[in-house]
Amino acid sequence: MLIINIKGLVGMHPKETLVLRGSEMANLPILENAWLLLENGLIKDFGLMDNCPSEKETLNAEGKFVFPSWCDSHTHIVFAASREEEFVMKIAGKTYEDIATAGGGILNSAHKLQKATENELFESASLRLKDMIRQGTGAVEIKSGYGLTVESELKMLRVIQRLKSAFPIPIKATFLAAHTYPAEYKNNHHGYINLIINEMLPAVAEEKLADYIDVFCEKGFFSVAETDEILSAAAKYGLKPKIHANQLSVSGGAQIGVKNNAISVDHLEETDAEVLAILASGNTIATLLPSCSFYLNIPFANARGLLNANVAVALATDYNPGSTPSGNMNFVVSLACIKLKMLPEEAINASTLNGAAAMEMSHEMGSIAIGKKANLFMTKAMPSLAFLPYSFGQSQIETIILNGEIYNG
């Protein structure tokens, strides 16, 4: 496929650029009045319209922009039921912690998921994933964590494996049994940690069901020491951490993530100078989830502080039934600009190349470079790049291209 007359070809970073840190994130290379050639599912070449090859089936992008697909590196899209009853409780004044303490929250989702079949979970997650793809997402990470028993955690991870085979986008699976303590282990944390370490992890590794390990390191959930113990055990199976850290408090999660060479520490709504410094000192990516802050009415992450400290920042949706019932990366990009004060260029880099890096996929996804996977979207006609985040809540996406072909799913 040849795409011609592209108003702006967005994100042509050199192929060897695999992640962007701090001030580098404001640099988003754009080629104006360009063509793009796709072959065998990959980006074959691109250039200025002055020397456009005249071949192949052609798509005219006059007035339109072509972006690399969004890379959504943090989701929980395998779940059995929505939780709008909690949404109403929140409107009436209950907090996320109040609801969790009353047996709602993650435990509510776990009870429902334990009763659902693998097929039911696959079907409902497929619908969510199709919606996300239509909204421009071309690579995704999906977590377990609503199973909380050996059987149900494996069931969730097997659903993610089925999604990997059924969908034309790269998917990474993360094992998150340490999402909360099941009620029967409320006063026996070590009993549950032993179950994770001695029964779940070996089974997950045996069936090769996960790419990463995750722990919700937070007051009232998993302590720093408990997180460390689980991450160390998972390392023996080659599972690298991508953890939930500092969502509700300065939990020590960022530090324990960096200590365990986490690919990313995610959330970071609560940070202090020490957190910024520790993230600046290593290669762990700070993944921010502004639609979670928006939905829960909790603070927005200090993106400017992280960028000023030269940290690599990624953006993701956190799509889940409790804290972010939305998988729309376009809204995340708008929120990042409006609430995190990120420039459109920074927010787009954070949602493409750095999102890919937060899934260790940036050698094949996240920018326009020869040889990368041709997962892209073409916008409607837009006056400028900034129009995309500016026109929040409205889709500017016209055509989805996956593996070099128009996606109509």
Ligand X SMILES: N=CN[C@@H](CCC(=O)O)C(=O)O
Residues near ligand X, by CB under 6 A: 105-106, 109, 216, 244, 247, 292, 318, 320-323
Nearer to ligand X, 321 or 366 (CB): 321
CB of 244 to ligand X, least distance (A): 5
Length of the chain: 409
Is 158 one of the annotated binding-site residues? Answer: no
Residue 176: in which H helix or E strand, if any? Answer: strand 171-178
109 binds, among ligand X, Zn ion, none (CB under 5 to 8 A by kind): ligand X
Neighbours of 341 (CB within 10 A): 14
- Which positions ≥6 away from 174 have C-beta within 8 Å? 141, 142, 143, 144, 210, 211, 212, 213, 214, 242
Q: What's the min distance (Å) between Cβ of 23 and ligand X?
A: 28
Is 21 part of any known ligand binding site?
no
Q: Which H or E run includes 91?
A: helix 84-91
Closer to ligand X by Cβ: residue 126 or 247? 247
H-assigned helices in 138-200: 150-166, 189-194
Say if residue 322 carries a ligand binding annotation: yes
Which residue's Cβ has the minimum distance to ligand X? 322
The CB-of-394 to Zn ion minimum distance in angstroms stands at: 26
CB 291 within 8 A of CB 335: yes
Q: Give the residue from 158, 144, 132 showing the smallest Cα distance to 355.
A: 132
Q: Which of residues 67 and 319 has its CB atom nearest to ligand X in the complex? A: 319
Shorter beta-carbon distance to ligand X: residue 138 or 322: 322
CB of 322 to Zn ion, least distance (A): 9
Residue nearest to Zn ion (CB): 318
What is the Cα–Cα distance from 241 to 243, expressed in whole angstroms?
Answer: 6
The reply to whether 318 sits near Zn ion by the rule CB under 5 A is: yes
CB of 85 vs ligand X, minimal distance in Å: 13
Q: Which does 374 bind (CB under 5 to 8 A by kind): Zn ion, ligand X, none?
A: none
Query: Binding site annotation covers 247?
Result: yes
Identify which of residues 153 and 318 has a Cβ nearer to Zn ion in the complex.
318
**Minimum gap (Å) between residue 264 Cβ and Zn ion:** 11
CB of 166 to Zn ion, least distance (A): 23
Q: Are 388 and 338 in contact (CB under 8 A)?
A: no
Helices (H), 175-288: 189-194, 201-206, 224-235, 253-259, 273-280
Nearer to ligand X, 247 or 260 (CB): 247
**246 labelled ligand-binding:** no
Q: Would the annotation count 319 as a binding residue?
A: no
**Would you say 293 or 334 has its CB closer to ligand X?**
293
Is 363 annotated in a binding site? The answer is no
d(CA 164, CA 173): 9
Angle at 247 between CA 180 and CA 309, to 5 degrees: 140
Does the annotation place 74 within a ligand binding site?
yes
Only segment of 52-60, 93-101, 132-140, 311-319 that touches Zn ion (CB under 5 A): 311-319
83 a known binding residue? yes
291: partner contacted, choices Zn ion, ligand X, none (Cβ within 5-8 A by kind): none
Residue with tokens 């009870």: 111
Residue 66 backbone dihedrals phi, psi, to 5 degrees: -115, 125
105 binds, among ligand X, Zn ion, none (CB under 5 to 8 A by kind): ligand X
Pairing assessment for the beta strands 405-406 and 397-402 based on DSSP bridges: antiparallel
The minimum distance between CB 74 and Zn ion, in angstroms, equals 6
Q: Positive or negative, the Cα torsion across 199, 202, 205, 211?
A: positive
Residue closer to Zn ion by CB (options 268, 278) is 268
* CA distances, 244 to each of 194, 198, 226, 265, 406 (Å): 20, 22, 13, 6, 35
CA distance 44 to 295: 41
Q: How many residues bind Zn ion (CB under 5 A)?
A: 1
Return binding residues for Zn(2+): 74, 76, 244, 318
Residues within the interface to Zn ion (CB under 5 A): 318
Return binding residues for Fe(3+): 74, 76, 244, 318
Return binding residues: 74, 76, 83, 146, 179, 244, 247, 318, 320, 322-323
Return binding residues for N-formimidoyl-L-glutamate: 146, 320, 322
